[in-house]
Amino acid sequence: MRSFLLLAFIAFVCFPQSVFSHTYLSSVVINGEKLVEGDCVRPHPALAYDYPIPLVTSPDMTCGWLPSAAQPANRKCGISAGSSIGIQWHHSSTDPSDDIIAATHLGPCLVYLARSDDGAGPVWFKIFEQGFSNGAWCVSNLIANKGLLTVTIPSDIAPGNYLLRGEIIALHGANVLNGVQPYVGCVELTISGSGTAKPAGVAIPGAYSASDPGMLFNLYNVFTSYIIPGPAVYKANSSPSSPTTKPTVKPTTAPVNPTTPPVNLLLLPPTPPAPPLNLLLLLLNPPQLPL
Ligand SMILES: [Cu+2]
């Protein structure tokens, strides 16, 4: 076992880009036009920067790694309410051959909107979620669809400037507190239309806690359901006066001996190029960093 650990350590030191596979929101497709980082899509700390946010209560949860994620894109992209937007996830490049995200990183996909320029305060309402259904996780469906997630902008929302927030929550390490791996990216939109709805929102960070049943979840147990974190999805023309909350009970699980051990060790992030200070602190503080 000790020599295996040593080999695994050497493997990830020597081949840092090949032995793990996170994901990032690389581009969006609006009316057939593809927009990449910096062009309506909020930038990452570096191109193809794919590290998960270590704490679900971190300010980085709003739009991704700070300070990059707080920098405005060069412009806002126009889109009409009721139309669809394609959100493209990638692992390490925008090449069509890219593997999107490791198949081990099972979990839900979520999309929020906020009628806001900075995403601060209780402004976020959810417009899409897919967790575990029909025996498949959203991440598996996403990989099968080459990383493209297409969602519809609610037809009844008031026109204005919005942030769209895409999120993938990988659960392969979520059997321990703060082991969950969220990936977040934002897109700046100017939504047009004649709607008047201003759906009630939640704050992000604020809407999640590390002990939410969807954040502290054992993939290696037998389960039949999964509770996606955050509020219920806003449906056009439903206009709830407050965001609907979800049940907080844990799904019943029957522990078994997992036939597939967690592969966390090989997924340990290496030292990234020019990491932000908060990531450095996390690397120096391994218990904070999910594997
Ligand atoms: Cu990962």
| Residue 3 within a domain | no
| Residue 13 within a domain | no
How many domains is the chain partitioned into structurally?
A: 1
| Residue 104 within a domain | yes
Please give the pLDDT value at position 63.
98
For ligand 1, the distance from its centroid to the CA atom of residue 255, given in whole angstroms, is: 24
| Residue 7 within a domain | no
For ligand 1, the distance from its centroid to the CA atom of residue 237, given in whole angstroms, is: 37
For ligand 1, the distance from its centroid to the CA atom of residue 278, given in whole angstroms, is: 17
pLDDT at residue 60 is higher than 90: yes
Residues 6 or more apart from 137 whose CB is under 8 A from it? 106, 107, 108, 131
| Residue 102 within a domain | yes
What CATH number did the domain enclosing 238 receive?
Answer: 2.70.50.70
For ligand 1, the distance from its centroid to the CA atom of residue 269, given in whole angstroms, is: 7
| Residue 14 within a domain | no
Does the reported pTM lie above 0.85? no
For ligand 1, the distance from its centroid to the CA atom of residue 236, given in whole angstroms, is: 34
Mean pLDDT computed over 85-102: 92
Angle at 202 between CA 118 and CA 168, to 5 degrees: 80
For ligand 1, the distance from its centroid to the CA atom of residue 257, given in whole angstroms, is: 23
pLDDT at residue 198 is higher than 70: yes
Q: What is the mean pLDDT of the chain?
A: 83
pLDDT at residue 247 is higher than 50: yes
Range of the domain at 242: 20-267+276-288
| Residue 60 within a domain | yes
Q: Cα separation of 46 and 48, whole Å?
A: 6
For ligand 1, the distance from its centroid to the CA atom of residue 52, given in whole angstroms, is: 7
For ligand 1, the distance from its centroid to the CA atom of residue 139, given in whole angstroms, is: 12
Angle at 160 between CA 119 and CA 48, to 5 degrees: 50
For ligand 1, the distance from its centroid to the CA atom of residue 97, given in whole angstroms, is: 19
Cα Rg of the chain (Å, integer): 19
Q: Tell me the pLDDT tens digit for each residue of 154-186.
A: 999 999 999 999 999 999 999 999 999 999 999
| Residue 197 within a domain | yes
Q: Cα separation of 217 and 238, whole Å?
A: 31
Q: Tell me the pLDDT tens digit for each residue of 214-243.
A: 999 999 999 999 999 999 999 998 855 556
